[in-house]
Chain A
Amino acid sequence: MLIPITLLLLGATPPPAVAPVAAPTVAVAWTAPVRVDSYGDLMSAYSQAKADRRAAIKAAGSAKERRELRAKRPATDFLPRFEALGESGDVRGFTWMLDEAKRLGIGKSDRLAHLLDVYGRIVMAPADSKHFAEAMQRIGEEKKLDASQRVSLLKRVLGREDAAGEGRCTAQLFAGSLLFKSDVASDQAMGEQILKELVASESCSNQVKAAEQALLGVSIEVGGTAPDFEGTTIDGKTFNLSDYRGKVVLLDFFGFW
């Protein structure tokens, strides 16, 4: 019998112990409450702020004034509102922090730490967060992180009792696929088990096909098995790439334009 993957993961990587929080002994400075906006409203306000700043820089009378205007970053002003959005259950508030890393003034040497920090907040976001599944896919495909960094983020979702639905299924798909492609035999075996569980599950129907493909080693990288497709010629004849198994195939993506 297969051990449910949640238990397996919990056994393999126990959740980090939460450090006890000491009651503050000094008065904490009062901070203004942050209003939570909808993502759309927030984005348009942010775009407007950027446009206003550009216009102001253009209209500035002196170099000094221009410098001062340039030093003010709308991204920094908006950061608390996007963070509040992320914490309130729309993870796009957090992914904005990734997209705007440069505008937030995060230097190249700090980018990786920023990436890990923000993704760390995403994987711990409220379980019913909006756009959680897309964020899981983003982690799974994140080119700036290596496979083991991506897997360990995704595993934190799988280790959560409260994470369910598309987000969990997507995390399972990417964690399984990444592990299955690993060179380490034990990781490969764990990946295979995660993917097989996904194929057999009734709650992750959207991920079944991709999990099957991953188990077959389908990928578009050199060494992977090319994904199959059905093509139709201009005369309406259909064929599959797999019809040509047994032959050497050169696939040519072209346009006459």
Chain B
Amino acid sequence: MPHLKTLVERHKNDPFVLIGVNTGDDEDAYREGLEKHGVSWTCAYQGPGKDAIAKLFEVTGYPTYYLIAPNGKILGKGHSGEAFDKTIQKEIDKLKSSAQ
């Protein structure tokens, strides 16, 4: 979680978004978690016992990350957020240079 906060902060002026999908927390625990970890980014909350989005992506372990390119294609998936730091930067650079 501290890493994600840093990541969002680092790219706050970039064409980048972090989107969370919560599975398995009840509403109280979820609100408390958002507060405690300073989650400012958009998160889908599925509610207890609901996991349709996680199922769609066949998530079996938590956390699971999917890195998605601006064209919607999946660039990578894995269980470590840090592992994508470099690729995120590279994709943002690519996007910025093509916009110029």
Contacts and interface: CB of A to CB of B under 8 A. Distances in A.
A210 to B, nearest CB: 12
A246 B15 contact: yes
Contacts of A220: 56-58, 66, 74, 77
B44 A226 contact: no
B96 to A, nearest CB: 11
Interface residues of B, number: 56
A249 to B, nearest CB: 4
Nearest to B63: A254
A17 interface: no
B45 A234 contact: yes
B15 A248 contact: yes
Given A253-B59, A253-B64, A233 B44 contact: yes
A257 B62 CA distance: 10
A255 B37 CA distance: 12
Contacts of B63: 252-254
Contacts of B68: 226, 241, 244, 248-251
Contacts, number: 148
A223 to B, nearest CB: 7
Contacts of B38: none
Given A222-B74, A227-B56, A252-B18, A234 B81 contact: no
A229 interface: yes
Contacts of B42: 231, 233, 239
Interface string B21-34: 11111010111111
Nearest to A250: B18
Given A245-B72, A250-B67, A254-B63, A231 B18 contact: no
A245 B71 contact: yes
Contacts of A229: 44, 52-53, 56
A248 B29 contact: no
B15 A247 contact: yes
Band of interface residues on A = 20 to 34
Interface in B1-40: 4, 7, 14-25, 27, 29-34, 36-37
A65 B65 CA distance: 53
Contacts of A241: 19, 68
A225 B73 CA distance: 4
B45 A232 contact: yes
Interface string B60-97: 00111111111111111100010010001001100100
A47 B42 CA distance: 48
A68 interface: no
B67 A249 contact: yes
Among A226, A239, A241, A246, residue most surrounded by chain B Cβ atoms (within 10 Å):
A226
Given A234-B45, A251-B21, 16 more contacts: A220-B56, A222-B77, A223-B73, A239-B44, A241-B68, A242-B72, A248-B15, A248-B68, A248-B70, A250-B19, A252-B65, A253-B57, A253-B62, A253-B64, A254-B22, A257-B25
Interface of B: 4, 7, 14-25, 27, 29-34, 36-37, 42-45, 52-54, 56-59, 62-77, 81, 84, 88, 91-92, 95
14 contacts: A220-B58, A226-B66, A231-B43, A232-B45, A245-B71, A246-B70, A248-B16, A248-B67, A248-B92, A250-B81, A256-B25, A256-B29, A256-B32, A256-B36
6 A-B pairs with the lowest CB-CB distances in the bound complex, closest first: A231-B44, A256-B33, A249-B68, A251-B66, A255-B24, A253-B64
